[in-house]
C-alpha cells in the first residue's frame, strides 16, 4: 500500500497499536497526525518519524480538541484521507455494583463519544473531498460481556454500532467505513488487564498476544481497495483469511 500524498489522523498514537500504525503509515508515505494526551510521547514519536508527522495533542473526549486536530491536518497538508479511531481506555476495571459513576462515565466519553468526535469532525472534510477511510479499532468486548469491564464492553458495543451508522450515512458520500477487532495485543492495556486479575483475559499468557505491528499492518491493508468487500463490517484479526491478506499470517 502506497499512501503517498494521503493524510491520516490516528487517535491514541502515543503508544501501542496507534504508535505502530503511525510508524507504518508514515513509512508507506502518508502524513500522520499523532493524536493523544501525552504530549511528550507524541513529540518523541514525531521526531522519530520526521517531517511527515503532525503533532496534534488532544483529549478525544473533548470535541473542540478533536476538531482542532482535524483543523491541524488541513492546515498542514490541505486534506484528511484516513481517520483511525484507535484511542481507548480499559480503566476503570471494577465490578459494576461498585463502579464510581464519574470514572465510568469519563471512560465512556473516551471509548464511545471519542469515536463519535473523530467521525463528526472528519466526515464533513472527507465528504467535501469526495472520499476517505474511517476505521474504528473495536474489540471482542463489543460483542461479549466480561467481568469488571462493564464500561469497556458497553462503550465498545456502542462504538461498533456507531461505525455501522457511519457506514450507512458515509457510503453515499464515498466514504469507506470499517471496524477492526485486533484480538489481544501486547500493549500497556494488556499489562493493566493482567495486573487486574479480574477475568479470563487477565490470565492469558503474554505469548498469547500479538505484537502491535500486526493490527497496524491490517489497518494499512484496510485503507486499500482490496478491503472494499468488507466496507461497513467489523473485521477480526483472529480470522486466518484476514491475517493472510494483511500479511501477518
Ligand atoms: N491491547 C489489546 O489487547 C486490545 C484488544 C482489543 C482492542 N484494543 C483496542 O485497541 C486500541 C488501542 O489500544 P492499545 O492496546 O494500543 O492500548 P494502549 O497502549 O493503552 O494505548 C491507548 C492509546 O489511547 C490513547 N488515549 C487514551 N485516552 C485518550 C484520550 N482521552 N484522548 C486521546 N487519546 C487517548 C492513549 O494515549 P494518551 O494516554 O497519551 O492519551 C494511548 O495512545 C483501543 O481502542 C483498545 O480498546 C486493544
Catalytic residue among 6, 113, 156, 217: 156
- Each residue's pLDDT, cut to its tens digit, for the chain (249 residues) gives 899 999 999 999 999 999 999 999 999 999 999 999 999 999 999 999 999 999 999 999 999 999 999 999 999 999 999 999 999 999 999 999 999 999 999 999 999 999 999 999 999 999 999 999 999 999 999 999 999 999 999 999 999 999 999 999 999 999 999 999 999 999 999 999 999 999 999 999 999 999 999 999 999 999 999 999 999 999 999 999 999 999 998
**The model's pTM:** 0.98
Is ligand 1 within 6 A of the CB of residue 234? no
Helix axes 16-27, 39-49, angle to 10 degrees: 20
Ligand 1 neighbourhood includes 196 CB (under 6 angstroms)? no
Alpha-carbon torsion, ordered 109, 115, 117, 123, to 10 deg: -170
193 C-beta closer than 6 A to ligand 1: no
Pocket probe mutation, ligand 1, options 88, 181, 204, 219, max atoms within 8 Å of Cβ: 88
Domain boundaries 7-246, corresponding CATH code: 3.40.50.720
- Cell numbers 486499500 correspond to what residue? 224
Nearest to 64 by CA among 18, 21, 137, 114: 114
Amino acid at each position: 500500500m502506497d499512501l503517498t500524498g494521503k493524510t491520516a489522523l490516528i487517535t491514541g498514537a502515543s503508544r501501542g497499536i496507534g504508535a505502530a500504525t503511525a510508524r507504518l503509515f508514515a513509512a508507506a508515505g502518508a502524513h500522520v497526525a499523532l493524536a493523544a494526551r501525552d504530549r511528550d510521547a507524541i513529540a518523541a514519536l514525531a521526531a522519530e518519524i520526521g517531517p511527515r508527522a503532525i503533532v496534534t495533542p488532544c483529549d478525544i473526549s473533548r470535541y473542540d480538541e478533536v476538531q482542532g486536530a482535524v483543523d491541524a491536518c488541513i492546515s498542514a497538508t490541505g486534506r484528511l484521507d484516513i481517520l483511525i479511531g484507535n484511542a481507548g481506555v480499559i480503566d476503570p476495571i471494577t465490578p459494576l455494583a461498585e463502579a464510581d459513576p464519574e470514572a465510568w462515565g469519563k471512560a465512556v466519553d473516551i471509548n464511545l463519544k471519542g469515536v463519535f468526535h473523530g467521525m463528526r469532525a472528519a466526515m464533513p472534510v472527507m465528504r467535501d473531498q469526495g472520499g476517505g477511510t474511517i476505521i474504528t479499532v473495536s474489540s471482542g468486548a463489543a460483542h461479549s460481556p466480561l467481568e469488571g469491564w462493564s464500561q469497556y464492553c458497553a462503550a465498545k458495543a456502542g462504538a461498533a454500532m456507531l461505525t455501522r451508522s457511519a457506514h450507512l450515512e458515509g457510503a453515499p458520500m464515498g466514504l469507506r467505513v470499517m471496524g477492526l477487532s485486533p484480538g489481544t495485543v501486547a500493549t500497556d492495556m494488556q499489562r493493566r488487564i493482567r495486573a487486574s486479575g479480574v477475568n479470563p483475559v487477565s490470565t492469558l499468557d503474554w505469548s498469547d498476544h500479538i505484537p502491535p505491528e500486526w493490527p497496524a499492518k491490517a489497518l494499512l491493508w484496510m485503507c486499500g481497495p482490496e478491503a472494499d468487500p468488507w466496507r461497513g463490517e467489523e473485521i477480526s484479526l483472529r480470522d486466518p483469511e484476514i491475517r493472510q491478506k494483511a500479511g501477518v499470517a
